[in-house]
Structure 1
């Protein structure tokens, strides 16, 4: 497994743990305030990053810069999106609304760019040979 694939898989695993902890917290506390954050962490952070890690294991991308750009926009976008959702909706800190909204929107835009880059990578692939 190449480094980029492993980075996506490890971040996916991290997001899965965070999502599971949030789910357990919501169940135990009876408060569902974290519901949208929990959902985004699991769907984008865990499932999508995992799927992309597997995608890079199955296919070779002829443009390494494109693959690296996609990987890091995925990780940064997911992280900033869920952190931005947390600080915008739950207001755990005394951040200005502009700062928390900027983090939320910036993460979402970065993640959107990642999805577009993923689409573009599909035009630069070859299937890896079985070893």
Structure 2
């Protein structure tokens, strides 16, 4: 799998969703979903795009289990956090409050593990991260 291409494509989708949400909120004058909008843009667009640049600039081994875990936990975490936030704040289906809360928490926790994994990876593959 091309990690850079994957992250750039997914980040582009989150950028479109975030921009559309922002445009819709501004046009309608309702800012109730601004926290979700901000998280979609920050963790969905900005963080995933930054990870894409990281993999493009530095020669992290293609078969690194740490990198593979990072890629998938980032994707699952961002999707889980942002959709969980939407479910939690909008409560689109009555009686699903507990599920929505758990979905939100699990998504955020998976994303936290992705960031922890990234920090570990930076030190494990530190010799590959250089200006040379």
Aligned-pair Cα RMSD in Å:
1.9
For 1:86, the equivalent position in structure 2 comes to 86
Q: List runs of 5+ in structure 2 lacking aligned partners.
A: none
Q: Pick the structure with more strand per residue.
A: 1
**1:98-124, Cα deviation, whole Å (9 max, x unpaired):** 100011000000000000000011021
Alignment partner of 1:16 is 2:15: yes
Contact in 2 for aligned 1:26/1:32 (Cα 8 Å) = yes
SS class of match (2:98)? helix
The 3 A distance-change label for structure 1 pair 118 and 91 is same
For 1:36, the equivalent position in structure 2 comes to 35
Equivalent residue pairs, number: 129
The 3 A distance-change label for structure 1 pair 18 and 95 is farther
- Normalising by structure 2, what TM-score? 0.91
CA distance in 2, matches of 1:14, 1:95: 30
* Runs of 4+ displaced beyond 6 Å: none
CA distance in 1, matches of 2:94, 2:9: 31
Alignment partner of 1:60 is 2:52: no
- Normalising by structure 1, what TM-score? 0.91
**1:58-113, Cα deviation, whole Å (9 max, x unpaired):** 11224611111101111110001011111111112235211000110000000000
